[in-house]
Amino acid sequence: MSGVLRLCLVALAVGMCSCRPEVLRAPRPSVDPAALRYNVTYVREPEHALDVEVVLVRGTPRDFFFTRSGGVETVWAYSETGEEHELTVDRDGVRLPKDTRFLRYRFPMDALIRRRGPDFFAGMPQEDARLIAGRSWLIRPRVAPPDLLVELTVTGVNALLPWQRGPGGVYRLSAEDLVDSGFHGFGGRRCEVRLRDAVLQVAILGHMTHLKDKELCEWLRRTAEEVRTVRRAFPHPRITVLVYPVPNRKTADVFGMVMWSSPPSIALLVGQDAEPSDLVQDWVALHEMLHLTHPAILPRAPWISEGLATYFTEVAKSRSGRQSPEQSWQELITGFERGRRQAGGRTMEEMLEENAPPGIYWVGAYFALLLDVELRRHTGNQRQLDDVLELLATQGPTSTVSAYGAAVDAVAGRPLFNSLLSEKLRLPAFSGLERLLEELGVTTTPGGVKLQLARDSLLREALDGQRASSAQ
């Protein structure tokens, strides 16, 4: 073996063992780029990782950090002349030298999964595919001007990110997109669900034992149609949905989460061994899509956001005909009783302060039901909680508790929200439930829920969208 060949092989071996990202060094731009540029490469050898190169714009702030820290310990900064700085990333992020033109790092997905276990923030593996939240791997300026343009490319894999690709496979983003970057899917297979007014772009990140891709996508289409029993139109013209098959699980409703990227993205964990009948019983996909019907409440108020999604999950299943109104009321009552057991006699206010699931979901769902009934009572059954969501949708993607209350009052045509809330806060959680059910004509029996004529049974029928089978 020649000396030159031996030297090349040694250099290659050293490079393969290095943890430093081997992204090709970009040539010095002939003109200043118009945007902060992210060049992302999906790496499989020696194991799955993301190699990231950031080309900085002149004037870009030098303080960078990961929204969800802990995945990257070291980054490398390069000047235009090739000078290199190895920098340690701490909980506060990293400050780049003034002359930095390129920033490079590796996000070691498989290594993190071994160390921390699979989750949305380390990564979830399935064959060659990976599901991960963007906030874990995507470094960003701590402070950036709102007019900062961002470009991002991904090579080495078919990726599904929340945003739409432009010409040349380039994602053109804003600084805000780096803050709320959603769920990212790398690899897997794709399908597209088309509604009358929206598109769901779907990544299936692994193989199901009993279900074909077209069956999963048809399930998502039916679920999205159920959302339109609550809102007049699907809440966003385009969203992304990432379906991850969970090994050794049969139920479809393992877990789900929505992230408020723009547009939103949803991750659904589905049992790998689920069958078509399990999809009919699923509630998680509908619950997550129903979160799209309301704005993000800031500061976070899970009793509102989770309460709305939990309440409307059962209402939508009844309105769509997936289950009978009796079944929907049975599910709501079972949930309310579960929340009541967790409350243990404590007030609604104490439950909100504790903010612990599942009780916080069901306290919020009960208050959503109360609001819906009171809105119908005050407006002669002409207005409803659905109308509050329609009004909020005209006011932007975020809201507050006070703005939510103001929307309730506007739909009611009179002050309602604060008076009802202040009354319920000081009482034991779920107080008044039995009386409300009686007025709606909802009766629990050993054989299940029976729906009967009562003072407000017409409100109930308008609410659940069907005439009760037991009352016909």
Amino acid residing at 458: L
Calculate mean pLDDT across residues 247-270.
97
Which pLDDT score is estimated for 19?
47
DSSP string, 389-425: HHHHHTT-SEE-HHHHHHHHHHHHTS--HHHHHHHHH
Q: Under CATH, what is the fold of the domain 189-293?
A: Neutral Protease; domain 2 (1.10.390)
Q: Measure Cα distances from 299 to 155, 235, 257, 305, 401 in Å.
A: 37, 21, 18, 11, 8
Which pLDDT score is estimated for 61?
86
Which pLDDT score is estimated for 14?
34
Q: Where are the beta strands (DSSP E) in 210-356?
A: 238-246, 255-259, 265-271, 296-297
Q: Under CATH, what is the fold of the domain 17-181?
A: Immunoglobulin-like (2.60.40)
Calculate mean pLDDT across residues 204-209.
98
Phi, psi of 125 (to 5 degrees): -90, 145
Which pLDDT score is estimated for 170?
96
Which pLDDT score is estimated for 33?
58
pTM over 0.75: yes
pLDDT tens figures, 325-371: 999 999 999 999 999 999 999 999 999 999 999 999 999 999 999 99
**Same topology between domain 17-181 and domain 297-471:** no
Show me where the domains of the chain are located.
Answer: 17-181, 189-293, 297-471
pLDDT tens figures, 116-165: 999 999 999 999 999 999 999 999 999 988 888 999 999 999 999 999 99
297-471 CATH: 1.10.390
Question: Among 321, 456, 465, 287, which Cα is nearest to 375's?
Answer: 456
Q: Using CB atoms within 10 A of its CB, is residue 201 exposed (0-12), middle (13-18) or buried (19+)? A: buried
